[in-house]
């Protein structure tokens, strides 16, 4: 297979990020199997056509079912809001299409498991969009851990802090409605941190959580693009916020490490602090997405007089994916995480294997999300094996 023909559902924030990845991939990774931007799909024909032209798709259709009937589409890329993931993914798998789905995989664990089962039964490839794994600094963290360079892991301290809904007049967008988003800070932000923890530390054994919704009612939204919305200030009609604004988690991992995770949209001054610190017997590493080109490292066997964290700029050719971009020190950004994600997906086609992370990772993450929700509801520790 030397090209993969894509049909993409959704054209807003993630649709733009994925489109950019498909578009630039052949220029920077010319050896890779190439994605072909065949058909973009969305419900509003006017906005869709604008996106089609702007992002560079060949055709546009307003019903995703059409994509499944076409034999010139190999891969369905699902960027629609979370409540649409399962129906599209299951139908696409049944139609024999490969799947690439944004996170969180589904609204519930049962739905996520069904998506995985259907994908496996159909024998198609499946990938879930945990894009932060693909920052070269995170890949370096993974390498250091795998090589044993920080030793046995004792602590994972993760957080995803944002502040885009702190204004009580910020409208009630879909991300604040449980029936569409599944959960709030937990599924939107916590899911990334849970995936990062699983990737770097290992499987969760048990969790306990707490959460709150600080602003319980908001003005009805008119529209949303990216993380901006319209309608707040003008609307007098209010609606209930049905998801968590902030969630805290304590966790024990199967390998004995202890973890803590904070996911919030109310951390003033933090626009996108997706970070972690990991402490092991031989050293520590820390990462903050707002400085995504850097990994801070500390090794216990450094000479005593220079002990301390040092900053590694992960932009050398020694770092994953960096050969394809710019000379060392010429930094990359958010959009590159998606390009690398698609490089991995294309490599999976070339090598005829499942990409990583795939729906198994989506389900494992969803198990932790569900265990946290149960823990909050029942005010107790919940083992992952219970869900």
Minimum CB distance to ligand SOE, residue 162 (Å): 6
DSSP-assigned letter for residue 102: P
List Cα–Cα distances, 273 to 191, 264, 286, 291, in angstroms: 14, 10, 12, 9
Nearer to ligand SOE, 100 or 298 (CB): 100
The angle formed by the CA atoms of residues 368, 155 and 316, to the nearest 5 degrees, is 95
Question: How many CA atoms within 13 Å lie on the side-chain side of 289?
Answer: 25
Q: Which residues, numbered 60-79, are part of the site for ligand SOE (CB under 6 A)?
A: none
- Segments of 186-289 assigned E as strands: 204-212, 217-219, 223-225, 228-230, 238-240, 246-253, 258-264, 273-280, 283-288
Site residue total, ligand SOE (CB under 6 A): 6
Q: Which residues, numbered 254-283, are part of the site for ligand SOE (CB under 6 A)?
A: 272
Nearer to ligand SOE, 60 or 84 (CB): 84
Nearer to ligand SOE, 163 or 316 (CB): 163
Minimum CB distance to ligand SOE, residue 189 (Å): 6
**Should residue 195 be labelled a site residue for ligand SOE when binding is judged by CB under 6 A?**
no
Q: Which of 77, 188, 296, 361 binds ligand SOE (CB under 6 A)?
A: 188
Instruction: Using CB positions, name the residue nearest to ligand SOE.
Output: 188
50 CB contacts (<8 Å, ≥6 apart)? none
Q: Which of 84, 215, 224, 227 binds ligand SOE (CB under 6 A)?
A: 227
Binding mask 90-129 for ligand SOE (x = CB under 6 A): ----------------------------------------
Conformation bin of residue 306: beta by default, left when phi > 0, alpha when psi is -120 to 50: alpha
Give yes or no for a contact between 333 and 79, defined as CB atoms under 8 angstroms apart.
Answer: no
* Footprint of ligand SOE (CB under 6 A): 162, 188-189, 192, 227, 272
């Amino acid at each position: 297979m030397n090209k993969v023909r894509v049909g993409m559902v959704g054209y807003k924030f993630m649709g733009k990020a994925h489109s950019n990845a498909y578009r630039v991939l052949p220029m920077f990774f010319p050896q890779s199997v190439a994605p072909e931007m065949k058909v973009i799909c969305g419900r509003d024909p006017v906005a869709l056509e604008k996106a089609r032209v702007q992002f560079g798709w060949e055709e546009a259709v307003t019903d995703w079912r059409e994509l499944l009937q076409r034999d010139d589409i190999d891969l369905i890329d699902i960027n629609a809001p979370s409540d649409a993931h399962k129906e599209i993914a299951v139908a696409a798998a049944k139609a024999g299409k490969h799947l690439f789905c944004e996170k969180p995989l589904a609204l519930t664990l049962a739905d996520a498991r069904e998506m995985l089962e259907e994908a496996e039964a159909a024998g198609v490839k499946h990938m879930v969009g945990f894009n932060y794994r693909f920052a070269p600094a995170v890949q370096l963290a993974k390498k250091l851990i795998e090589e044993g360079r920080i030793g046995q892991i004792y602590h994972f301290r993760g957080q995803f802090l944002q502040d885009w809904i702190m204004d009580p007049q910020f409208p009630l967008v879909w991300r604040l409605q449980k029936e569409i988003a599944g959960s709030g800070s937990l599924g939107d932000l916590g899911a990334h941190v849970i995936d990062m923890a699983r990737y770097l530390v290992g499987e969760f054994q048990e969790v306990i959580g707490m959460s709150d919704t600080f602003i319980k009612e908001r003005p009805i939204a008119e529209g949303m693009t990216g993380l901006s919305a319209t309608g707040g200030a003008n609307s007098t009609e209010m609606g209930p916020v049905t998801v968590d604004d902030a969630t805290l988690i304590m966790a024990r991992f199967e390998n004995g490490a202890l973890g803590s995770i904070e996911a919030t949209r109310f951390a003033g001054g933090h626009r996108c602090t997706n970070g972690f610190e990991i402490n092991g017997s031989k050293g520590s590493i820390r990462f903050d997405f707002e400085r995504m080109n850097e990994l801070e490292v500390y090794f216990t066997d450094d000479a005593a007089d220079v002990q301390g964290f040092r900053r590694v700029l992960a932009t050398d050719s020694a770092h994953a994916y960096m050969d394809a971009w710019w000379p060392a020190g010429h930094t990359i950004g958010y959009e590159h995480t998606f390009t690398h994600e698609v490089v991995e997906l294309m490599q999976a086609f070339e090598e005829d294997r499942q990409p990583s992370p795939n729906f198994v990772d989506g389900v494992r993450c969803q198990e932790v999300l569900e265990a946290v929700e149960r823990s909050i509801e029942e005010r107790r520790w919940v083992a992952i094996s219970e869900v």
